[in-house]
């Protein structure tokens, strides 16, 4: 795998580029070996009995050892239908202190830039605790405060409820001195799906066009066929093939819970993307959702949206969460910082 040598300059309009990051460290190989023998068997067991009362909510509670970067500030935020958490790491601009009579920020926040983060977990699990370390590192590398949203999840709530919660998070940032045009929406895995969905809805509803989107190993297509037809369906260290189809079934079942008048949620790859902001998409070269990342980047390009697809050799799904342990993860986080700074 060769590394594409591209200049780290702002992406021009109507431009898409793919950058390949070669090399697999010993620690990265150890991480892949570990998740293949622990996480993957657990997901496979779940796929055979997905309707059992699996303790999905316990995963977030058990993640308390995943502490944020030392010195990170945290503040609980209560959104209308779910909890959220505002974090800013050492060196990051604090959140806007207050909002003046004209609606602009007074104090704090420098240029008003903030990040809205939507966690992964297949729309089923994880939350504020599991992603606190990753979110704090994103705050540190971008120099901006981050609002992480603990959105409503399957199987009790359809995906559109999570989109609504993400929009509430964006509205909260706007109301507290961070204009939508200065907010970067980011997320991993299922949170990558929500990243694009929330950005699209923000534009459609007139909330504002976010500054950019950052999607880490995004699930961008609810149709499982593309993933199952790709060779990576046999290579992925995290997801067994069976789990992909099972998740699709659960999503369809949850969508029917929304009641009459609610439109089924559309996959980001099927949306009208012409008004979307610039995007950074990161994916591992052998993970299950590689095909989604590649397809999303292509669809953005066809819509005339600046997009950068980064392909990291043999990195596991959402490998950025291992920053501080795996060197490639730290480099990927640094790339996120570079992308966000160039949007300013």
Strands (E), the chain: 16-21, 73-78, 83-88, 98-99, 105-106, 114-118, 146-149, 183-188, 212-216, 279-284, 307-312
CA-based radius of gyration for the chain: 19
pLDDT over 70 at 294, yes or no: yes
**Catalytic (active site) residue 189:** yes
Pairwise pLDDT comparison (3 vs 235), residue with the higher score: 235
What's the DSSP call for residue 209? -
Strand partners, 187: 118, 215
pLDDT over 50 at 7, yes or no: no
The predicted pLDDT at position 65 comes to 66
pLDDT over 80 at 8, yes or no: no
The predicted pLDDT at position 110 comes to 54
Strand partners, 106: 98
Pairwise pLDDT comparison (143 vs 260), residue with the higher score: 143
pLDDT over 90 at 168, yes or no: yes
C-alpha to C-alpha distance for 239 and 179, rounded to whole angstroms: 37
Q: Please state, in angstroms and as integers, the Cα–Cα distance from residue 313 to each residue in 3, 125, 189, 192, 283, following that order.
A: 10, 27, 17, 20, 9
pLDDT in tens, 211-227: 999 999 999 999 999 99
C-alpha to C-alpha distance for 56 and 87, rounded to whole angstroms: 24
Mean pLDDT of 50-64: 73
pLDDT over 50 at 102, yes or no: no
Picking from 51-65, 76-90, 102-116, 303-317, which range would have the lowest pLDDT averaged per residue? Answer: 102-116
pLDDT over 80 at 135, yes or no: yes
pLDDT band at 273 (very low <50, low <70, confident <90, very high): very high
The predicted pLDDT at position 60 comes to 67
Q: Helices in 80-216 by DSSP H: which ranges?
A: 132-142, 159-175, 190-204
Spatial CA neighbour of 227 closest among 168, 292, 293, 309: 292
When the pLDDT of each residue in the chain is averaged and rounded to a whole number, the result is 89
Spatial CA neighbour of 109 closest among 117, 118, 100: 100
The predicted pLDDT at position 169 comes to 98
The predicted pLDDT at position 51 comes to 83
The predicted pLDDT at position 253 comes to 86
The predicted pLDDT at position 107 comes to 43
The predicted pLDDT at position 13 comes to 44
Whole-structure pTM value: 0.91
The predicted pLDDT at position 64 comes to 64
The predicted pLDDT at position 285 comes to 97
The predicted pLDDT at position 54 comes to 75
Mean pLDDT of 54-83: 84
pLDDT over 80 at 4, yes or no: no
pLDDT over 90 at 53, yes or no: no
Of 28, 189, 306, 329, which is the active-site residue?
Answer: 189
Mean pLDDT of 41-66: 80
The predicted pLDDT at position 126 comes to 93
The residue whose two tokens read 């099972």 is 246
C-alpha to C-alpha distance for 282 and 294, rounded to whole angstroms: 10
pLDDT band at 34 (very low <50, low <70, confident <90, very high): very high
What's the CATH superfamily of 16-343? Alpha/Beta hydrolase fold, catalytic domain (3.40.50.1820)
pLDDT in tens, 169-192: 999 999 999 999 999 999 999 999
């Amino acid at each position: 795998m060769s590394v594409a040598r591209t200049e780290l300059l702002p992406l021009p309009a109507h431009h898409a580029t793919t950058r390949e990051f070669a090399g697999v460290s010993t620690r990265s190989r150890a991480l892949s070996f570990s998740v293949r023998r622990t996480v993957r068997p657990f997901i496979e067991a779940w796929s055979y009995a997905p309707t059992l009362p699996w303790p999905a909510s316990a995963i977030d509670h058990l993640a308390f050892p995943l502490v944020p970067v030392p010195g990170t500030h945290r503040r609980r935020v209560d959104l209308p239908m779910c909890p959220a958490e505002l974090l800013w790491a050492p060196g990051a601009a604090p959140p806007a202190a207050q909002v003046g009579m004209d609606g602009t920020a007074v104090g704090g926040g420098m240029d008003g830039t903030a990040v809205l983060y939507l966690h992964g977990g297949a729309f089923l699990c994880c939350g504020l605790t599991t992603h606190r370390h990753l979110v704090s590192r994103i705050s540190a590398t971008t120099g901006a405060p981050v609002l992480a949203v603990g959105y409503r999840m399957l199987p009790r709530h359809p995906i559109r409820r999570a989109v609504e919660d993400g929009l509430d998070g964006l509205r909260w940032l706007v109301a507290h001195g961070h204009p939508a045009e200065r907010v970067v929406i980011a997320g991993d895995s299922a949170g990558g799906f929500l990243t694009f969905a929330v950005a699209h809805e923000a534009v459609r509803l007139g909330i504002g066009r976010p500054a950019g989107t950052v999607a880490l190993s995004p699930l961008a297509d609810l149709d499982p066929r593309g993933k199952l037809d790709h060779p990576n369906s046999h290579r992925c260290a995290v997801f067994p093939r069976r789990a992909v189809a099972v998740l699709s079934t659960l999503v369809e079942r949850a969508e029917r819970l929304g009641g009459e008048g609610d439109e089924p949620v559309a996959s980001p790859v099927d949306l009208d993307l012409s008004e979307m902001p610039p995007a950074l998409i990161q994916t591992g070269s052998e993970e299950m959702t590689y095909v989604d990342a590649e397809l999303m980047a292509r669809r953005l390009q066809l819509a005339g949206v600046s997009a950068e697809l980064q392909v990291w050799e043999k990195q596991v799904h959402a490998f950025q969460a291992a920053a501080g342990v795996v060197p490639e993860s730290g480099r990927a986080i640094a790339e996120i910082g570079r992308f966000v700074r160039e949007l300013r």
